[in-house]
Structure 1
């Protein structure tokens, strides 16, 4: 089986691409309906957090025409007990944000049950805002007899001061199986007993029945897990909101799958499930609805495992040609911009929903010399373009004291645009003394054909920046 990363609405992807009973393990970490916005925390090349954050997703759901449509679709086609449950929920909760969230989750959980093998398991990660409702939902869809554990993930975090209630420092993971035939690999996740208990076992003063294979001093973990969150200095930290530690996913994947099994994450975010599944030799399927996430996962797979999209795994849903690019631009202008910037490894500059972008869609940072970092301003246009756009880019480059400007266009540039860009002159790299055009125009067609902007010693937008040049520099 080929590993696949999907861009798109997971409900549509599940319905159109994932066959019945084809998945061994599902882990999902959906939005919790906590009414918060989660931002991608890009870092500046010096290592500090960027002031310009991008909203990855809004953790707020509303009862809309689309929600009403989904509700009635479930009522018309869903299993009887699910229909009764959902209608009871709406009578009790009414039409509000929570009901919209539960309707959205119900439609997806029905599809996830369809694609799960009879021997498979599903882990639904949630927090106390909605875990009580979700457990009723899971009981109804998967059957209360297939409920295996309510795992409590406990963690310490200095944030969240309060004097009016106990600090909230745990998440809930609901573990269900598809049937009683499910597989659980206890020996893969055993942990050591305490030193005191180990000595008692060695002396034979206590016994726990079945022993672990080859080691009677290990036990299956309890249903409360003390696994540290990803702190600000952690090597695996990518700056993506709601990123979970690899140790958490490792325990789940080891417990409920074996090498060669298929692991699915329909809300894959920054790709922790994907990365751990890859490391543990599982096949994987990842789905996300933002190009910010898809590009971050592609970078993570390349940086960690040396995997290339299209060669080592499939990416479905991203534009492959100009017609696909135009379709994305018409569907969602911001996702089009994020996708276009991913083609040049630029970091998005600002959240368009929250304020003006000041003529900056993205920024590419690069090394000027061992002590200095330069930047190229990136603008992305999907509509008609003219020489006025290049003059405006030139003004933004001068205002921001940037070294270069990159203009990405879906339409072909005019001759006056090209002439204006040429008049911008050159930036000379102090390290190599090579000249780079200060104003560069590059079309989406050229990017899709493999062409890249001319930028010296570009710095990745995802891993933390360095204050000095790396030991090995790329050839220019």
Structure 2
């Protein structure tokens, strides 16, 4: 699927007519359309609502509004029946073109991994080329954190500056590859700013089963003038097929005041019914914090937290399953996959040496991982529990039997001995 804007279509027409950009704007000026009027449709798929601007553009394009809408990839309002009544003819055209494209497909490239471990392989290169290495329906979960098209340079020669339509066109291409390699029931997670995920959600909902739109509550650096202050990232969660083949419930601590330990939400008479393993995770994640401290970062630019990837991978896979990340970045997906004993496949266009170094020196990630599990699957972490005891507040032990309390004590003893049972996850610290 190609994504076009009105601006793209006008520029394409100018190319067909042999017009320079200056000549194009000169013609539109005769139609009382200035450069600013046209640039307003450079970063949006909408059609002008101003009749004067719309008619001027249509005159330059020498087409009707209906044809313009078709060029934009949509069925014009009122023409749905015409489209549906001619599907046989449309399908014939598409099938003929598809057969030609299949004949022209390139062979699978022979590319050696940049780095290999017992669990995974990391490849250095363009994901669209590297996806050819991955067989159909061979991956359990795909997690993708693509460049956000914010004109940043991540590594030398690797930037994310693209046109609005160019970015979405590229986006849809690698998304199709993600869908191809996913197993039936496999999970797809896409992490991006809300702007881009709104376009992607429309595209994905035609091909996969929507599960959740997760809001990751995280403050950006500075407010943006004349806009609401951006305070979240978007994490789309889709499944290939009717339902996920794996969904492991994730639990988090009850939200409490950091000073007195009192719960933020009053659960009244239901305290004795609270699950001692914590509160079921919702689709708003307010406990994921940006990786900013130099002691935790592996790269100078934004890096995903171990907690975020642990949550995604633990929720959607079991031990031995395959996780793929087409935009390796700093390697967080691969580091967490290693710690959770998942197989993994990784692509990265930029500096892979940083990822390799991280995977060979796991101590930093082990410490971060331990910190995550100090709070995971617990109604009250140990520090909060002590604070609540001190202030005379209830804790889950008040409603548990002696045998349940003994099991919890044994779990802590295992942790102190060096072998940590993370609720069905065995991690031996080396």
Q: Secondary structure at the match of 1:31?
A: coil
Deviation at 1:129, TM superposition (A): 3.0
Residues of 2 paired with 1:197 and 1:301: CA distance? 43
Q: Secondary structure at the match of 1:141?
A: coil
**Alignment match, 1:13:** 130
Aligned residues of 1:277 and 1:284 also touching (Cα < 8 A): yes
TM-score, normalization by structure 1: 0.47
Aligned residues of 2:296 and 2:364 also touching (Cα < 8 A): no
Deviation at 1:273, TM superposition (A): 0.5
- Equivalent residue for 1:176, pick from 209, 228, 238: 238
Aligned residues of 1:123 and 1:174 also touching (Cα < 8 A): yes
CA-to-aligned-CA distance 1:210-231 (integer Å, 9 cap, x gap):
x8xxx46633211110134334
Q: Secondary structure at the match of 2:195?
A: coil
TM-score, normalization by structure 2: 0.52
Deviation at 1:156, TM superposition (A): 3.2
Q: Secondary structure at the match of 1:236?
A: coil
**Alignment match, 1:297:** 355
Deviation at 1:139, TM superposition (A): 1.3
Note if 1:235 corresponds to 2:281: no
User: Larger strand proportion, structure 1 or 2?
Assistant: 1
Residues of 2 paired with 1:56 and 1:251: CA distance? 32
CA-to-aligned-CA distance 1:327-355 (integer Å, 9 cap, x gap):
xxxxxxxxxxxxxxxxxxxxxxxxxxxxx
Q: How many aligned positions are there? A: 240
Aligned residues of 1:37 and 1:55 also touching (Cα < 8 A): no
**Alignment match, 1:100:** 166
Residues of 2 paired with 1:125 and 1:55: CA distance? 23
Change (3 A) 1:286 1:217: closer
Matches within 5 A, 1:74-473: 97-142=163-208, 146-157=209-220, 159-162=221-224, 164-187=226-249, 189-194=250-255, 195=263, 200-203=269-272, 215=275, 218-233=278-293, 235-290=295-350, 292=351, 294-304=352-362
User: Larger helix proportion, structure 1 or 2?
Assistant: 2
Deviation at 1:56, TM superposition (A): 6.4
CA-to-aligned-CA distance 1:80-135 (integer Å, 9 cap, x gap):
xxxxxxxxxxxxxxxxx121111111111111111101021000111023121111
Aligned residues of 2:191 and 2:235 also touching (Cα < 8 A): yes
Deviation at 1:12, TM superposition (A): 1.3
Residues of 2 paired with 1:55 and 1:141: CA distance? 35
4+ aligned runs moved over 6 Å, structure 1: none
Deviation at 1:192, TM superposition (A): 3.0
Q: Secondary structure at the match of 2:169?
A: helix
> Where do 5+ consecutive residues of structure 1 fail to align?
40-53, 62-96, 205-210, 308-476
Residues of 1 paired with 2:266 and 2:295: CA distance? 34
Residues of 1 paired with 2:344 and 2:246: CA distance? 19
Residues of 2 paired with 1:306 and 1:237: CA distance? 10
Deviation at 1:136, TM superposition (A): 1.1
Q: Secondary structure at the match of 1:285?
A: strand
Aligned residues of 1:227 and 1:248 also touching (Cα < 8 A): no
**Alignment match, 2:405:** none
Aligned residues of 2:140 and 2:321 also touching (Cα < 8 A): yes
Change (3 A) 1:228 1:182: closer
Q: What's the Cα RMSD here?
A: 2.5
Residues of 2 paired with 1:234 and 1:223: CA distance? 29
> Relative contact order, CA 8 A, sep 6+: which one is greater?
1
